[in-house]
A and B are shown apart, each in its own frame.
Chain A
Amino acid sequence: MDIGGVIDYLIGFAIMAMIYAIFALGLNVHWGFTGLFNIGIAGFFALGAYTAALLTSPPPDPDQFEDFIFGGNLANQDLLDLGVDAWFLLGLAAAAVVCGLVALMIGTITLRLNDDYLSIATLGIAESVRFFFLNEKWAANGSKGLYRIPKFLGDVIAPESYDYLYVVVVLVILLILFAAVQRAVRSPWGRVLRAIREDEVATAASGKSVFRFKLQSFVLGSMIMGIGGALFAHHVRFLSPLTFDPLLATFVIWAMLMVGGSGNNIGAVLGAFVVWGIWAGTQFLPGILSDPSFRLFMIGVLIVAIMLLRPGGLLGEWRRIVARSPAHSSDRDPAGPD
């Protein structure tokens, strides 16, 4: 592989790692700052990606897309000329809105109840989204998937330079989202979220509507995931329901946040790079080490090990986690101290 090839590979790697970093940020809002247990990231991933793709893709070729009736060709209609690929940005926004709405729906149903229900519901949503795109061929061509999803500024940029442009686009969006999340969690609003995570009962007792804050956090994190999905769509430019299997669309992201440290945005981004680096790197290893099943196994072991050894993650809010565990210890009785 020549130098140019190496650089191209690294650019491609960086794009994926940064897209994953966006997901890790979203998950950090859920789990790291609020303690919401979302195991259906794949659902928001897919919703975001499909929303952006359907809004921006060219009109379907009837020969290839027999059942495909949803136009998705809005971007190419003359009636709405928004200038240089404003549709790309509109797609990102739409992805965020769709994911936000779905999150609002699930959150409203489950967040008033015991914490566990949210996680089960997110799992259900992820699977349902997959079933939908798999079965409803009219919506997105079923298992054959959507392809030829347009590039951002595809008319202007030479195909071989696309990744160079796109890496910058993703970087800018990552930085914006990072700054936004960082600001949000440091605001009074973010402090309430952490208070909920540390001690929900006490926070509720102080007069805060725990439900409302949790719901806001769930919607915000899910919108970020939607944007990540949209960016993914314009990067790989091919989507099928099989793209969003739980391994690469949920578990890997959890591993990233776990490695990086929940409650730590820099950690979340670093974790994305480290885990994606390991993931991408190990495919060059010989034998069993590059076996996807082995890597799946290792991700599971990694999550368990982190839960056992450093529940705050490798770079986590370590002090907080330490401070937190005794509060839930055997000392604690439902009745509390007298």
Chain B
Amino acid sequence: MNSVSSQPQNLTWPSGRFLRRFGVGMSPGRISALLAAGLLILGFLPFTKLGLVVNGLILGSVIALGAIGLTLVYGILKLGNFAHGDYMALGAYIAFFIVDGVLPRVGIEGAGLGPFTFGFPVLIALPLTALAVALGAIALDALIYRRLRDRAASTAILMMASLGVAIAIRGLVQLIWSGETQHYPRESRQVYHLPMDVRIPPDGLFVAVLAVVLVSAVYALLTYTKIGKAMRATSDNPTLALVSGINTRQVVRWTWGIGGALAAVAGVLLAVVQAQLLPIMGWKFLIPLFAAVILGGIGSPYGALIGALVVGVSMELSTQWINPSYKPAVAFAIMIGVLLARPRGIFGDAA
């Protein structure tokens, strides 16, 4: 908390400076409306497929859940957490363990719940997994990062440690569940057919709705609760937070808790939409995560949300022209573009 050797940007809700230049207000609502309108227009353009935009929004929802946690940790602890993707993978596998190893013993099994490919067990596993990863993230902080902060280690040392954590988690996941592909018990389901050749898999709808719910919850927490405001304050100005008497240890615990829980849910949802689990899935997801965070301005959860949707849609739209396996490279290209044009992120403070 105390290391202020290189403070990245502050946690900011979008100041929307660049939008203001166009005479548009800066409220989050307006920016989302603008974004939605933009995407819709994009979708109706003759050369894009609306279906890809829909896929992109689903992918973007998953990225958003990961990126919001990443940006909170980044803003509040000044740590670019390279293990965040692996927290996601860990979540996906813990849920797999619950669904595959625990629940069947008490007679809870199943797949193909309603329109969805997955079953009731996944719904039970989701909150348990979120809790487990949240506690795990808090424990890792107490074990590793807090000691480094107390010693006032540089941000590079913190990031290096997080890289070690990332590697260790992946090794552990691979050791326990093998490097082979796994999947939650699933039954194939019909996709919804909409006009304009849009097909929405019901799972995708579930992912999007759950993401909206969780993001709203985080928004409410940060805006209306005491601890949420304290988190923003700590991100804004850690030293002042300290001398305001803010319990920064509590803030740190909440930050990891929220980040870990969201990452876990993101991991499970990723495993659902990809219909498979792989130990490397989280590491592979790091680039889209960081791209979303940087696009949105480091430390800005709302920016991360918008950034995630933009990255998700761009990744999916790109498949119209280039090989789909380049999707992560598209995220990377967006990130480089942002760094060139507006390093603080589109929605970050231009401070």
Contacts and interface: CB of A to CB of B under 8 A. Distances in A.
Contacts of A302: 164
Contact of B286 (A123, A135, A296, A299): A123
B147 A308 contact: yes
A172 interface: no
Interface string A294-338: 111111111110011001000000000000111011111110000
B4 to A, nearest CB: 6
Interface string A201-213: 0000000000000
Secondary structure class of chain B's binding surface, majority of residues: helix
A302 B172 CA distance: 14
Scoring B152, B160, B339 by chain A CB atoms within 10 A of each residue's CB, the highest score goes to B160
B175 interface: yes
Interface range on chain B (Cβ under 8 Å from partner): 35 or more
Contacts of B326: 131, 135
B237 to A, nearest CB: 9
Contacts of A125: 332
Given A115-B6, A328-B5, A300 B167 contact: yes
B332 A127 contact: yes
B198 interface: no
Contact of A127 (B160, B172, B287): B287
B284 to A, nearest CB: 8
Contacts of B287: 120, 123-124, 127
Contact of B167 (A37, A119, A303): A303
B39 to A, nearest CB: 24
A302 B167 CA distance: 10
A45 interface: no
Interface string A246-275: 110001001000000000000000000000
B82 A329 contact: no
B182 interface: no
Contacts of A195: none
Interface stretch (A10-18, A106-114, A215-223): A106-114
Contact of A311 (B153, B179, B284, B323): B153
A90 interface: no
Contacts of B294: 117, 120
A122 B80 CA distance: 14
A291 interface: yes
B339 A307 contact: no
Contact of A120 (B179, B290, B325): B290
Interface in B215-237: none
Contact of B335 (A124, A294, A296): A124
B335 A307 contact: no
B339 A121 contact: yes
Contact of A325 (B152, B161, B168, B171): B152
B283 interface: yes
Interface in B146-197: 147-148, 151-157, 159-161, 163-172, 174-175, 178-179
B24 interface: no
Contacts of A104: none
Nearest to A297: B171
Contact of B161 (A35, A109, A251, A303): A303
B239 interface: yes
A66 interface: no
A119 B336 CA distance: 12
Contacts of B283: 246
Contacts of A292: 174
A251 B163 CA distance: 9
Contacts of B163: 39, 251, 254, 303
A123 B174 CA distance: 21
Given A124-B336, A131-B326, A325-B152, A113 B171 contact: no
A134 interface: yes
A44 B155 CA distance: 24
Interface in B123-158: 144, 147-148, 151-157
B343 A113 contact: yes
Contacts of B35: none
A293 interface: yes
A35 B175 contact: no
A92 to B, nearest CB: 28
Contacts of B286: 123
A81 interface: no
A299 B167 CA distance: 7
A187 interface: no
B164 to A, nearest CB: 3
B41 interface: no
Interface in A27-58: 31, 35, 37, 39
24 contacts: A109-B340, A114-B343, A115-B156, A119-B82, A119-B159, A124-B287, A125-B332, A128-B328, A128-B329, A131-B328, A293-B179, A294-B175, A299-B164, A299-B171, A300-B166, A304-B168, A307-B148, A307-B161, A308-B144, A311-B153, A328-B152, A330-B3, A332-B152, A334-B7
The 4 lowest CB-CB distance pairs between A and B, nearest first, are A300-B168, A297-B171, A303-B164, A300-B167
Interface of B: 2-8, 80, 82, 144, 147-148, 151-157, 159-161, 163-172, 174-175, 178-179, 239, 283-284, 286-287, 290, 294, 323, 325-326, 328-329, 332, 335-336, 339-340, 343
